[in-house]
Amino acid sequence: MKFLPISFFILALATAIALAYDPSPLQDICVATNNLDSGVFVNGRFCKDPNQATADDFLFMGLRNPGNTANPLGSKVTPAFVNQFPGVNTLGVSMARIDFAPGGLNPPHLHPRGSEVQFVAEGMLLAGFVTSNQLNNTFFTKVLYKGDVFAFPIGLIHFQLNIGNTYALAFSSFSSQNPGIITVANAVFGAKPPISVDVLTKAFQLDKKVVDYLQAQFWYDNN
Ligand code: GLV
Ligand code: MN
């Protein structure tokens, strides 16, 4: 009986160690420094004095207006992430509005720090995501109608295409205040400085001419 408290303590300690994991990053990079003068961000943003906060800090009106879809993709993502909407700092949530012209595409992209759920407010979208190699790059796809909601798991490549004849509108919520957006084509073929042609010809099984062509394109960023 007298060993019970100590065994309980060891068990609790083991459980705590087993459950411990690193906090998820809220930014792309955070290089460690010992120089306190140049150390700026750890994670997220500094907090305003709570006594100075007002209701306005928790209101974002930037999703009221349609984004301009007169661009090469025919779509526009208007983010309400922590950079646009400071009130969500530390809350682990954010939103976006996505406008689509007929035929408009929100091109294959991923969010490195958040899952997404998307609500279709107008129109009809073809949406899909591709799993990692854990599930052999399986493609999950659906046609979404007004009122539907579709989920895109964190870190998986996904897209939406307006397959209707009318304008389409969607609103998304994210499980991060700063989910990030990596647009696949832009990141691969529009990287600055460019990724070596040798890497891309082999990786994508393309002729060097095709890689040169792709790297010379202007990769429009719709967000
Ligand atoms: C935005 O990130 C979207 O997938 O619509
Ligand atoms: Mn997305």
pLDDT recorded at residue 6: 57
Residue that is written with structure tokens 């160690």 in the block: 17
Supply the residue whose CA is at minimum distance from atom 5 of ligand 1. 98
pLDDT recorded at residue 1: 47
Whole-number Å distance, alpha carbon 10 to ligand 2 midpoint, is 44
Supply the residue whose CA is at minimum distance from atom 4 of ligand 1. 159
Ligand nearest to the CA of 157: 2
Place 181 in a pLDDT band, splitting at 50, 70 and 90. Answer: very high
The share of the chain scoring above pLDDT 90, in percent, equals 77
d(CA 20, CA 26): 18
* Whether the CB of 172 sits within 6 Å of ligand 1: yes
pLDDT recorded at residue 156: 98
d(CA 223, CA 148): 23
Name the DSSP class of 47: P
pLDDT per position as a tens digit, 4-62 = 455 555 545 454 555 777 778 888 887 777 777 766 666 668 888 889 999 999 999 99
pLDDT recorded at residue 40: 65
Report the mean per-residue pLDDT for the chain: 90
* Whether the CB of 78 sits within 6 Å of ligand 1: no
Place 161 in a pLDDT band, splitting at 50, 70 and 90. Answer: very high
Cβ(177)–Cβ(88) below 8 Å: yes
Q: Is the pLDDT of residue 95 over 70?
A: yes
Residues sharing a CB contact under 8 Å with residue 150, sequence separation 6 or more, in sequence order: 117, 118, 120, 127, 142, 144
Q: Is the pLDDT of residue 143 over 60?
A: yes
Query: How many C-beta atoms surround the C-beta of residue 49 within 10 A?
Result: 6
Six token digits for residue 15: 């459980």
Report domain extents, the chain: 4-58, 182-223
